[in-house]
Structure 1
């Protein structure tokens, strides 16, 4: 890690790992009518989408996302555009990919992808959402609110927490993101953005203690 990539303590790591496990839905990945690769800063999403496509799990793949609001330099032409190019390089045929380059949040990822599929004459009954590992639960809760008529399966690149930390290289940033996503899981239902998700007491305690420790850069203003 560089000087700007701060490490976390062993105790903070254990609390972050608890939240990491909660964020993952542990769904059985099965064939679906379509898949949606949710925009993010992580090329693990299109790479895993390509792997699942090659395994024959879906015929159509939507990549969704405009410029990343927290790291616009990461994918300057927008998340969906870069994800599509990465998937093409990994063997996904162009005709299997739909592009949705305007979404700026998860709710728009879902609704705009639904619209892109409809415009292509596709009305799926089942959808596979592929996201970063710590976004599975929020993606699920959002999709169930915004698109309740479809059955949703969530998936992400199968990485252990420590391996994901190493792949990103910034333990503080990853922990900030875990905390920020859990805040959204907790607060978005009251705003009409997602369905309610039960948060176990130990997960909530880990969340509040990490906020107290200063892992707050990805929190939304109250």
Structure 2
């Protein structure tokens, strides 16, 4: 991304959204889907709210919502361990069997989460044997997780669960400066990423 494009994106993410845009974001971007037991939990790595992400995954495991999981995330600045290593260790400490958690240690963005994880899932389970996936990630990234997965793995059924630690209710995201910045930063990527073939429309219209 050029410096000018990066600055343009920054300018947009610090703007105040219109009432119509708030409505569209709440309706189409900030969605969780109904959950049912899935073959795989796809846990997208993070440096934000790690404990919350782990607690949510552990709760899903205890409730029988997935048979296998993959944790994807590389080494980020300031850490000597990959996001995968940190998150998996916490999941195992909380009771999720280590041999049920597949590992991906290189990804540095959402596209790489998917691209690098698919061969690992295929080698361990066979992609054809996985019929349903729950995507677990940050609220502000929202539907871009399953949209990225849908671009590279259209056949599998996708569900979405997102979490955050903001005290502000999700539907009031626009009243919190940092929550607003994060959501607009992700929202502004959607159409460009679709045009460039990074993501595919999901859910179906």
- The reply to whether TM is greater than 0.5 is yes
Aligned equivalent of 1:195: 200
Structure 2: 5+ residue stretches without partners: 1-15, 171-175
Q: Counterpart in 1 of 2:113?
A: 109
Shift >4 Å, 4+ stretches = 12-18, 158-161
1:144 aligns with 2:150: yes
Q: Are 1:142 and 1:195, in contact at CA under 8 Å, matched by a contact in 2?
A: yes
The C-alpha deviation readout for 1:159-210, integer Å capped at 9, x for no partner, is 776057xxxxxx5443222111111112101111012469xxxxxxxxxxxx
Residues 1:65 and 2:90 are matched in the alignment: no
Structure 2 counterpart of 1:91: 95
Structure 1: where are the runs of 5+ without partners?
Answer: 1-11, 165-170, 199-222
Q: 1:176 and 2:149 equivalent?
A: no
Q: TM-score, normalised by structure 1?
A: 0.70
Q: Calculate the TM-score normalised by the size of structure 2.
A: 0.75
Distance 1:148 1:13, change over 3 A: closer
1:125 to 124, 131, 142: 131
RMSD: 2.8
CA drift at 1:14: 9.4
Counterpart in the other structure of 2:46: 40
Match of 1:35, SS state, is strand
**C-alpha contact (below 8 Å) 1:25/1:137 kept by paired residues:** yes
Which stretch shifts more, 112-121 or 15-24?
15-24
CA-to-aligned-CA distance 1:12-58 (integer Å, 9 cap, x gap): 59979754664322300111111110012231222211110111111
